[in-house]
Amino acid sequence: ATPTALMVGIGKGASNHILIKDALALEQMRKVNTVVLDKTGTLTEGHPTVSQWFWENGEEPQAKEILLAAELKSEHPLADAIVNELQSQGITPTALSSFESITGKGIKVVYQGETYWAGNQRLLNDFGAVISVYLKGMIEKSQSEGKSIVFFGQNKSLLSVISISDKVKPSSKEAVKMLQNMGIRVCMLTGDGEATASSVASELGIGHYKAEALPSDKEDFVKELQNEGSVVAMVGDGINDSQALARADVSIAMGKGTDIAMDVAMITLMTSDLQLLSKAFKLSRQTVKLIH
């Protein structure tokens, strides 16, 4: 039978916007010494906005219509930022003949027999596109400010570079510090580029992170920590986190994230406030202490 203390703990969680699936989750949580956090939508607001837009050969109105049509079909937060920007410019979408989402990299569409794509550096490399010296300078400056870069191209050419900023949540810094004060090691994972990841990690005081992580890399990251003897809690919000969530000793989803993340997760934080995370850890320590 489940000890009363654990049931009380679960009830206490619920009244604090922390949904705990079962008593085992709470007991496992007590043993965690490493927390891995997804960046986009977990540590950051997840509501990115376009801050700058650079074109290789000047603005191309038709390319904008194609990009708008493409990003309207994507559910990525970066897609929302691009859609909002283009719509505010009065751009209307064209009809595409195909759309494909490439996990961990971006999207690809076909318009009048030509392939257009939008995504990260990996996707750019897949298409064999080259970055001009002019754009390279702009990219490096944006990345050093923690902004995400979306590359937009047609076949083998890079058409433009979009710089997007996603603010770190006000609660993130405090939450990371609270976990570290509890003796828990904090790590970060992201599909974003190295420079952006490094900037956000240092802003938050996170020493260990992995950038340009595909869903399988996120799982491997967790597995490696476990192989070193760590007991790992993974915190994520998206489909791309579900493999890592399933691998972790404790899986924690953000309630505003995707249903898939919440289905996999043992614990769901019902608001986007990351301080709930340290609250959940405190709860597990208090509760488990009571029964041992």
Residues in contact with Mg ion by the rule CB under 5 A: 38, 40-41, 238
Helices 275-291, 23-31: inter-axial angle, 10-degree rounding: 100
Cβ 244 to Mg ion shortest distance, Å: 11
Query: DSSP assignment, residue 109?
Result: E
Distance CA 85, CA 260 (A): 28
Q: Does 166 sit near ligand ADP (CB under 6 A)?
A: no
Q: Does 120 sit near ligand ADP (CB under 6 A)?
A: yes
Distance CA 242, CA 261 (A): 6
Those residues whose C-beta lies under 8 Å from the C-beta of residue 4, and which sit 6 or more positions away, are none
Residue 273 is among the residues annotated as catalytic for this protein: no
Among 45, 60, 104, 286, binds ligand ADP (CB under 6 A): 104
Contact, 206 vs 55, CB < 8 A? Answer: no
Among 238, 245, 258, 277, binds ligand ADP (CB under 6 A): 238
Region near ligand ADP per CB under 6 A, out of 68-76, 83-91, 138-146, 264-272 = 68-76
Region near ligand ADP per CB under 6 A, out of 18-26, 190-198, 220-228, 268-276 = 190-198
Cβ 40 to ligand ADP shortest distance, Å: 4
Q: Does 106 sit near ligand ADP (CB under 6 A)?
A: yes
Taking alpha carbons only, the member of 278, 67, 258, 38 closest to residue 162 is 67
What tokens does 96 get? 């595409």
Please pick, among 22, 38, 80, 263, the residue that the annotation labels catalytic.
38
What is the dihedral sign for C-alpha 122, 128, 133, 135? Answer: negative
Q: Does 178 sit near ligand ADP (CB under 6 A)?
A: no
Query: DSSP assignment, residue 210?
Result: E
Q: Quick one: the chain helix, strand, coil %, rounded to 5?
A: 45, 25, 30
Residue 198: contacted member of ligand ADP, Mg ion, none (CB under 5 to 8 Å, by partner type):
none
What tokens does 69 get? 């049509």
Contact, 40 vs 192, CB < 8 A? Answer: yes
Among 192, 217, 219, 249, binds ligand ADP (CB under 6 A): 192
Among 28, 40, 242, 272, binds ligand ADP (CB under 6 A): 40
Q: Would you name the residues annotated as active-site residues?
A: 38
Residues that bind ligand ADP (CB under 6 A): 39-40, 71, 74, 76, 78-79, 103-107, 118-120, 150, 190-192, 238, 240
